[in-house]
Amino acid sequence: MRSRFDEQLELLNKEMIRMGELCEEVIGLACAALMMGSIDIAARVAPIDREIDQKEREIEALCLKLLLQQQPVARDLRQISAALKMITDMERIGDQAEDIAEIIAFLQGRTADEHIHIREMADAASKMVTDSVKAYVNRDLDLAQAVIECDDIVDNGFDTVKKSLIQMVASNPEEGEYALDILMIAKYFERIGDHATNIAEWVLFSVTGTHEDEGDSKLSE
């Protein structure tokens, strides 16, 4: 019975990795579309977001199956509970990448290549997602903590982009609409970083039994 349970836990890990890869893909596509001003690339985001939605449903069903058909010990229960929380954040990452893609369609071919900090935000956020899932699978507390600390890079990038856009509008008021669109895109990347941080915090919970917002958990070893 336990061997079957362990096989299903391994399947859960593989499915989590796949969902993380899809998130990384949509972030990369959204960033590429923005920097190239490509509506065609932006259009590739929505189908992958639907894959992310489907993967969320599949992982949720697997987690519920593990909870209902098996008798997980505390550590297993934390792992499954954390996965259920993590997939919610990953699903929202997909939604926000699609929101970025929708805004790009209104930029009429204009790019954001002069706003290098947006690319840095996207690269950092993508790595955060990848590393947080890797930390979950490997039960790597140090990597999860590194993800949380990396969120400062994304936040600082957003502040820098916001200041540069304020200066742009001050010098060229006619750029107001474009600046607002770019600011919204930067905000979505900042939110993606926040979701990756949430994922990493649930990784810490899955290993230690404590969560930053909840204090000591009753799910001890």
- Kindly report the CATH number assigned to the domain that includes residue 164: 1.20.58.220
pLDDT at 74: 83
For 104-161, the pLDDT digits (tens) are 988 888 887 777 888 899 999 999 999 999 999 999 999 999 999 999 999 999 999 9
Angle, vertex CA 147, rays to CA 192 and CA 184, nearest 5:
20
Whole-angstrom CA distances from 65 to 5, 87, 172 are 10, 16, 58
Is 6 inside a domain boundary? Answer: yes
pLDDT at 213: 66
pLDDT at 221: 41
For 30-84, the pLDDT digits (tens) are 999 999 999 999 999 999 999 999 999 999 999 999 988 777 788 889 999 999 9
Domain that holds residue 178: 2-216
Is 221 inside a domain boundary? Answer: no
For 158-172, the pLDDT digits (tens) are 999 999 999 999 999
Q: Which of 214, 202, 213, 206 is nearest to 139 (CA)?
A: 206
- Predicted TM-score of the model (pTM): 0.89
Q: Domain tally for the chain?
A: 1
**Coil/strand/helix, residue 221:** coil
Distance CA 157, CA 80 (A): 34
User: What H or E segment, with its residue span, contains residue 94?
Assistant: helix 74-104
pLDDT at 115: 79
pLDDT at 214: 53
Is 138 inside a domain boundary? Answer: yes
Is 167 inside a domain boundary? Answer: yes
For 169-219, the pLDDT digits (tens) are 999 999 899 999 999 999 999 999 999 999 999 999 999 988 776 544 434
Is 45 inside a domain boundary? Answer: yes
